[in-house]
Amino acid sequence: MDSTKVGLDDKPNKRIAIVFPGQGSQNVGMLTELSEEYPIITQTFTEASNALGFDLWEVCQDEQQLNQTEYTQPALLTASVALWRVLKDQVEQPVFMAGHSLGEFSALCASGAISLADAVVLVHKRGKLMQEAVANQETMMAAVLGLEDEQVLSLCEQIRELDEAASVNPANFNSPGQVVIAGNKTGVEQVVEQVKNNLGKKAIPLKVSVPSHCELMQPASEALQAELNRVKINEPLIPVIQNRHARVEKTMPNIKQALVEQLSNPVQWAKTIEELAAKQVELLIEVGSGNVLTNLTKRQKNVIPAYPTDRPERLQKLFEELS
């Protein structure tokens, strides 16, 4: 290993995992400060823009466009890959990668499984398919706080059984006591009402344009399979723990199938962190916009120190920790 890398001294090297955020972590002008110091960020956005046929960096300066799913996804993936290119020659080789929802595509791209050009085109299409799946429907997502996973699962089942018009499912098992639900407005509002009025817990509606990881995404999931069949996927150079079952898939068909099923099934993020802890990971580096995953890590059963990297001061703090 190159002795110029951060963290090489007389002490044993830390076991590092790289985690990539998903939708909701985007912000206008993300990575602008870092791009002034690291030209590879701008170069990465140019590479992605050439593949897409529109200026992705310009999209990141326009809040309305950036928050449309079909643009959010390639923008966030490119930001994550750009940051990884900044970091990869400065930190020890990670033992695992993982990504939350969309971040799983970033992880596969960073691990060498998918080219950046293919990945941004794929997630741009994925965003369109997600929007088309719920066109002309009123949909919602909400974060349920303070309940066990099984309680939320049972509550969603009860609402669906009582009201045929209701569609609602757990979408993200983020951490103990935090489950995001998704579905149509009828279903989600009924769960929110039950959580607040009958159980005395919090449920917070989320500002999203599509309800990810629920049964309403089944048409998009099926269409994504056809898109994936057109993309060359290699064996990852770094193992990627995928969302569907919180495990590393070993074969190309299984990697693709996990990506397809991920879209209409819940993200198993709490189990992913448990798996990393079980594999003796000692440090998480969040590579992408924001610090959502860093904050979630503090709420897990097994807390692994985590560091975001999207601003100069955050990157500096990471380097200080590693050295």
- The residues annotated with a catalytic role in the active site are 101, 213
DSSP label at 111? T
Helix (H, G, I), strand (E, B) or coil at 34: helix
**CB under 8 Å, gap of 24 or more: what pairs does 198-202 form?**
199/147, 199/151, 201/144, 201/145, 201/146, 201/147, 202/144, 202/145, 202/146
Question: Do 169 and 200 meet the contact criterion of CB atoms below 8 Å apart?
Answer: no
Spell out the long-range contacts of 132-136 with Cβ–Cβ below 8 A and sequence spacing 24 or more. 132/219, 132/220, 133/210, 133/216, 133/217, 133/218, 133/219, 133/220, 134/210, 134/211, 134/216, 134/217
Terminal alpha carbon distance of the chain:
16
- Quote the CA–CA distance of 26 and 71 in Å, as a whole number: 11
DSSP codes joined into one string, 115-165: -HHHHHHHHHHHHHHHHHHTTT--EEEEEEESS-HHHHHHHHHHHHHH-TT
Would you give the DSSP letter of residue 183?
A: E
